[in-house]
Structure 1
Amino acid sequence: MKASLQPLAISALLFTSITGGLWAEEEISLAEQLSTRAAAAGKKSDPARSAEYARGIQVVANSGIVEAAKQVGDKAPDFTLKNASGKEVKLSEMLKDGPVVLTWYRGGWCPYCNIAMAAFQQKLPEIEATGAQLVALTPELPDHSKDTKKENNLEFEVLTDLNHQVADQYGLVFELTPEVAELYKPKNDLIKFNGEDAGARKLPLAATYVIDQEGIIRWAFLNANYRERAEPSEVVEFLKEMK
């Protein structure tokens, strides 16, 4: 079952005060949106379940995957993947037209991913104004990624990283603990969403990279906690500095 897009993520603008008869607008950061979602989920969740999720995050952090993944200064592995419509997209070809913002999301079943994708969509005009392109990678099979793209009104490329092949090259693939995998299974069966060969316990970190036209990683966000994501506004600011 796919997670529905939270109302909070639909608009990242909050009317906060009236100044001189006009509404003042304050942008809500992605971090704030994700924190609000996590707090709400925590209030409804069984304490034992929450503790198991927290332990699962800590296991990933302790594994050293964040430190071992591709970092700033590394060459970004090239790849060719298909989008939701079956069209092949090649990283090196995209780089001919400008820098690429490469971001992974776990799946449309993940509410944190949907909030993050909505936040990136909101910043898409600013990203493109710098001459860069935004691309999201997901282990979801094309039918599911197509649904995610449609339901979240995403106007950027969403590519299926079948069986985590590209995520593996970037060093982003980890295994859920057996306990967390069992908690996911009733509603978020990874075999159903990603295919049998992708594995019932494997997922990519929700990483984000900025890759320059030489194929070098210039900016990176890596975190073992799936509730924390790259801040789109920070990506935009970095891209402006790159110009």
Structure 2
Amino acid sequence: MSLTAELKKYADESAQRHPGEAQVVMKKAIDDLVASQMIAQAYKTGAKLPEIILNNALNTEVNVYDILKEHKVIIAFYRGNWCPYCNIQLRALQQAIPEFEAKGAKLVVIGPETPDNSLTTKEKNELTFEVLSDIDMKVARNMNLVYEMPTDLQELYKKFGIDIEGNQGNTNFELPIAATYVVEQDGTISYHFLEEDYKLRADPKAILEAL
């Protein structure tokens, strides 16, 4: 099953588990995000990747431009280990690692989690690639990928038992949109996927076609 199909299957099942008001709240949050046109300001194909220096799950500093000296880089932004769609995406990306590397690309993912929570994400999904911790989403914000969760969505997530504050180590209630990039060795973005709907992610097949 493709990532796209797997995400749709989970979304359909989730809608059955959480019908009514929960669906209204989540759909309105997406619709409002679309209406804000924030994606218009996000980094896209043709732009130069900004400097990205973040700590990984072991709290060791990683400079993405150091990786670019030897490889193309795939960068995927995720929301947190509490997000089932993110976990599905990360596992699908892990399965595609041999194909990515055969095309000379390395994968890194960036999330707003603290390093300890990034380590949980890495271990839970058995990931072999770098999971970088973007504290307070400084990198994602610089790339215009950050939005503030509306209050009703915050309350819904709390009812679901999701601890955004504990996961991120702050009280900002901000998240990155679903974003994936392919970056050439000179730092130029050659592929982008940007989506306000958190249930949609770049499929590994599309990423491979862009490499």
Measured against the shorter chain, the TM-score band is over 0.9
State yes or no: 1:97 paired with 2:70: yes
In the TM superposition, residue 158 of structure 1 has moved relative to its aligned partner by 0.2
The answer to whether structure 1 residue 217 and structure 2 residue 192 are counterparts is no
Looking at structure 1, the residues matched to 89 and 48 of structure 2 have their Cα atoms a distance apart, in angstroms, of: 25
2:17 alignment partner in structure 1: 44
Query: Which residue identity is paired with 1:169?
Result: N
Match of 1:175 among 117, 139, 148: 148
Give the structure 2 partner of residue 145 of structure 1.
118
Structure-1 residue corresponding to 2:86:
113
Report how far residue 46 of structure 1 moved.
Answer: 3.0
Pair 1:208-2:180 in alignment: yes
What's the offset of the Cα at 1:132? 0.7
Alignment correspondent of 1:195: 169
Query: Residue 53 of structure 1: which of 20, 26, 35 is its match?
Result: 26
SS in 2 for 1:222: strand
Which residue of the other structure, out of 67, 76, 88, is the alignment partner of 2:40? Answer: 67
Following the alignment from structure 2 to structure 1, what is the Cα–Cα distance between the partners of residues 37 and 67? 31
The AA in structure 2 aligned to 1:208 is T
Unmatched runs of 5 consecutive residues or more in structure 1: 1-27
CA apart distance, 1:212: 0.5
**Which moved further from structure 2: 145-154 or 181-190?**
181-190
Equivalent position amino acid for 2:89 in 1: A
CA distance in 2, matches of 1:94, 1:62: 36
| Contact 2:54 2:61 (8 Å CA) reproduced | yes
1:144-177 Cα shifts (integer Å, max 9, x gaps):
1101100100111000001000001111000111
- Distance in 2, Cα, partners of 1:97 & 1:87: 19
Letter in 2 for 1:74: A
Aligned-partner Cα distance in 2 for 1:63–1:185: 24
Note the C-alpha offset of 1:213.
0.7
Paired residues, number: 210
Question: How much has 1:189 moved relative to structure 2?
Answer: 1.9
Structure 2: any 5+ residue segments left out of the alignment? none
Q: Which runs of 4+ in 1 moved over 6 A?
A: none
Match of 1:133 in 2: 106
What per-residue deviation string (whole Å, max 9, x for no partner) do you get for residues 71-130 of structure 1? 110111111100011111001111001110000110010000000001100001100111
Q: 1:231 aligns with which of 199, 203, 209?
A: 203
Residue number in structure 1 paired with 2:6: 33
Deviations 1:20-74 (A, max 9, x none): xxxxxxxx11110000000000111131111110000111111111111001101
* 1:172-210 Cα deviation digits (max 9, x unpaired): 00011110011112411211100126x1x2000120000
Between structure 1 and structure 2, the one with the greater Rg is: 1
Identical amino acids, percent of aligned pairs: 39
TM-score, normalised on structure 2? 0.97
RMSD: 0.9
